[in-house]
Every structure is written in C-alpha cells, then in structure tokens.
Copies of this chain bind each other. A is one copy, B any other.
Amino acid sequence: MRKVFQDELAQVGEELIEISRLVTGAIEKATESFEVADVDLAQDVIAADARIDFLQNSLDERAIDILALQGPVASDLRMIVGSLRMSASLERMGDLARHVAQLARLRYPNNVIPAALQETFKEFARLDIEISKKVTELLETRDLNVAREIAKDNMAVDELHLSVFKAIAADDWNESATTTVDVALASRYFERFADHGVSVARKVSYLVNGEWQSDEFA
C-alpha cells in the first residue's frame, strides 16, 4: 500500500514536469511566431494549449483522488496541495503563451511589435523561455539556487515591462492606437508569464523548506 502511494506521488511530480516542458515548448513557439509573424506556428501553439489544460485537469483529479484515498499528512500533504497550486500557475503560463500566439495570428502578416521595440521583445522572449526552462529544472532538482535565478530573471522582466510603458508614454511615440494597445498587452503577457514562474518557484521553496519564502521572492 505504501509503495503504491509513493508511486502515485511520484507520478504527480512527473506530470507537473511534463506540463512544465509543454509550457516551455509553448512559449518558445509563441515567441518565435510573434517575432517572425508565422501564423502556422501561432496556430500550433493555440491548438496545443488544450493539451496543457487537459493535463492540468487530469493532474488535479489525481491529486484529489490521492487526498481522498490516502489521507496524506505532513510533507506528502504539502506536496499534493503544492502540486494543485503549481499546476494552476503552469496552466496560466500556457494561457499567456497562447495569448502571445493569438496576437501574432491577429496581426499576421504584419509584425505585432514596431521595429523600435523588437529588440526589447526579443529580450522578453529570451527571459521568459529561460524562466520556463528553469521552472522545469527546479521541479526536477528542487535546487533552490535555481529558484533564486528565476526570481532574478523576473526582476529583469519587470524592468523591460517598465521600459515599454516609458517608451509608449514618451513624446516621440507615434504608433497607431491599435499598435500601442498590442504592445502594452504583449508586455503585460510577458510580465505575467514570468510572475507565474516565480509563483511556482515560491511553491517549490515551500515544499523544500516547509514554509513560504515570501521575502526572498517578493
């Protein structure tokens, strides 16, 4: 019985890692479709998001079954509750990658982002992909140094987000209203994606330490 239980717990952990890998694939493809205005790639991301949602639901059902049938306590219980929370964050990251792809599809064959900000958004993409990969690594290794790197990458994302809003507010900004809104929303999607990565990092820290590391990752 105990063996079965440990196998089930391990499977929840594996499923989280699988979802996290799919999220990395989604943000990689979404940002590429966004950068090069590739509508087919954007369409792939949008279609693939349904699989992330399905896996999240199935992970949650499994976690609830474990709670019902095994009545876990202490660190096992924390792990199950933490998994429910992490799967919600990962599912949101998948949604945000889909939003980026949807913008690419909406403006095809044009680019969403005007030339002057394309380098900024490449850096956004690089950091979000980095964060997503580190989330998978963190789930695999529970190495809290990785959690700290995620928090640091997120600070760089916040600075980019601020710089975009400054660019929009500057006197020499002369893009159309539609482009302005696209830029602002895209910036927010990238920023929220990184934020959810930090949420997962916080939850892993909670599992490792048994308490929330709210200061370090605030």
Contacts and interface: CB of A to CB of B under 8 A. Distances in A.
Contact of A168 (B78, B168, B178): B178
Copies per complex of this chain: 2
Contacts of A73: 68, 71
A1 interface: no
Interface stretch (A3-11, A122-130, A169-177): A169-177
B67 A67 contact: yes
Contacts of A165: 181
A177 B74 CA distance: 52
A144 interface: no
A173 B177 contact: yes
A168 B178 CA distance: 7
> What is the interface of chain A mostly: helix, strand, loop, or mixed?
helix
Contact of A77 (B67, B74, B78, B173): B67
A4 to B, nearest CB: 17
A208 interface: no
A52 B77 CA distance: 25
A184 interface: yes
Interface residues of A, number: 24
Contacts of A74: 68
Contact of A185 (B71, B178, B188): B188
A178 B169 contact: yes
Contacts of A177: 168-169, 173, 175, 177, 180
A48 interface: no
Interface in A173-201: 173, 175, 177-178, 180-181, 184-185, 188
A64 to B, nearest CB: 6
A158 to B, nearest CB: 15
Contacts of A68: 73-74, 77
Given A67-B81, A169-B177, 16 more contacts: A64-B78, A64-B81, A68-B73, A68-B74, A71-B71, A84-B84, A85-B88, A88-B88, A169-B178, A175-B177, A180-B181, A181-B181, A181-B184, A184-B185, A185-B188, A188-B188
